Amino acid sequence: MTCEAEALNRVFLQVGPISIYWYGVIIASGLFLGLYLATKEADRLGLKKDLITDLIVFAAPIAIIFARIYYVIFEWENYRGASFISLIAVWEGGIAIHGALIGAVLTAIVYARVKDVSFWQLADIVAPSLILGQAIGRWGNFMNQEAHGGPISEAAYQNFHQYLPDFIMNQMCINGVLYHPTFLYESFWNILVFIGLLLLRKYNPLRGEIFLSYIIMYSIGRIFIEGMRTDSLFLGPIKQAQLFSLLLIIGAIILIIYRRKSDKVDRKYDGAKVK
């Protein structure tokens, strides 16, 4: 479907030669809100107040680095011969959530060992914050006009998209073509996952099951939404996000079954403070 609209300004604030982009502001907003929620939950469970803050101080930059490395690896043909600045220009977009997840999990594992606390308890505490941060972060993609789907048909627009706010659809008008706002679909799905994790928390499951449920629920939505996107990273003929999401679902289910059968896993989510 054709369209005509002017894109929103990607710059949040201009200070002399320095540009602060909406993308970074939105990502940072999701991070700080997630940190606040996770810190409050840790305090409710009787953990040290700075336990989560210190974790985020290490995990956040490492996650961003891993997210960028992951993206550049799968897009290497487009970055071959590029300058160092281009390789690290995360403010231009181009980070992968699966790379961020790998970096954050590895950091949390090492951090838990150093602090002598349960990795699974830490993961359960931050899981709702992670998915909420992802829901907010997708609006950074919106400002950059990325992570969108294919062109919208006239029938699809009449049946659904015409009821969406104009500012969303205008931003999805790129070079005269109206595209599916898949960033919005994923943001909405992530909010549903966030609500689901908060409900699950009330049932006081075994340690690790909130985090593993986050992995499963997010990955299910990502598989379907990724199929609509036009900017996917590929592993051969396969969209790597779909493949990785499927492997995460299988791995998380296996872990839940194994840990439920294991005699060593007997602590509830709000149980003891240490392993």
For range 111-132, the mean pLDDT: 96
DSSP structural state of residue 48: -
**What pLDDT was estimated at residue 15?**
94
For range 110-123, the mean pLDDT: 96
Structure tokens given for 261 = 């059968």
For the chain, what is the mean pLDDT? 93
What dihedral do alpha carbons 142, 146, 151, 157 form, nearest 10°? -10
Query: Model's pTM, two decimal places?
Result: 0.92
- Portion of the chain with pLDDT greater than 90, in percent: 84
Nearest Cα to 232, choosing from 172, 149, 131? 149
Query: pLDDT per residue over 223-271, tens digit each?
Result: 999 999 999 999 889 999 999 999 999 999 999 999 999 877 658 887 5
State the Cα–Cα distance between residues 59 and 63, nearest whole angstrom.
Answer: 6
- Rounded to 5 degrees, φ, ψ at 268 are -85, 170
How do strand 234-235 and strand 177-178 relate by DSSP bridges?
A: unpaired
Rounded to a whole number, what is the distance in angstroms from the first to the last CA of the chain?
56
Q: Return all residues near 217 (Cβ < 8 A) that are at least 6 apart.
A: 193, 196, 197
Residue 146 pLDDT > 60, yes or no? yes
Structure tokens given for 84 = 């160092």
State the Cα–Cα distance between residues 46 and 67, nearest whole angstrom.
Answer: 32
Give the model's confidence band at 91: pLDDT under 50 very low, under 70 low, under 90 confident, else very high: low
Domain boundaries along the sequence of the chain: 11-261
Structure tokens given for 39 = 């810190």
Higher pLDDT, 104 or 91: 104
For range 98-109, the mean pLDDT: 97
State the Cα–Cα distance between residues 141 and 27, nearest whole angstrom.
Answer: 10
